[in-house]
Amino acid sequence: MSELISDRIYNAQCLGNIEPVEYIVPYPNIFSLLEGENIKFGNNYLFLDQKITNNDFLILINKASNWLRENQLDTKSRVLVENIDFPIAEIIIFAIWASGSSVILCQDSINKNELAKVNPDMIINNANCPSLDSLNKYPSEFIPYFRPSLHHEALLFYKRNTFIQLSHYNLLVNTSGTCKHLDLKRGTRIKINIPSKSTAWIILQLLLPLYAGMAITNKDPDITIGLEDQYHTADYIIKMNWDKISNKKKIIYILEENTAVICIGDKPIHMTSIEFSKGNIYVKGHSIMMGYIDKKSNDSIFNKKSMIIKNNLV
Strand order in the sheet with 261-264: 52-53, 45-47, 215-216, 189-191, 223-227, 236-239, 251-254, 261-264, 267-268
If you write DSSP's letter for every residue of 86-108 in order, what string do you get?
Answer: TTHHHHHHHHHHHTT-EEEEESS
Do the Cβ atoms of 269 and 263 come closer than 8 Å? Answer: yes
Q: What is the arrangement of strands in the sheet containing 102-106, beginning at the earlier edge strand?
A: 122-124, 78-81, 102-106, 153-159, 162-167, 291-292
pLDDT tens for the 314 residues of the chain, in order: 455 899 999 999 999 889 987 777 899 999 999 999 999 999 999 999 999 999 999 999 999 999 999 999 999 999 999 989 999 999 999 999 999 999 999 988 899 999 999 999 999 999 999 999 999 999 999 999 999 999 999 999 999 889 999 999 999 999 999 999 999 999 999 999 999 999 999 999 999 999 999 999 999 999 999 999 999 999 999 999 998 899 888 999 999 999 999 999 999 999 999 999 888 999 999 999 999 999 889 998 999 999 999 875 56
pTM listed for this prediction: 0.96
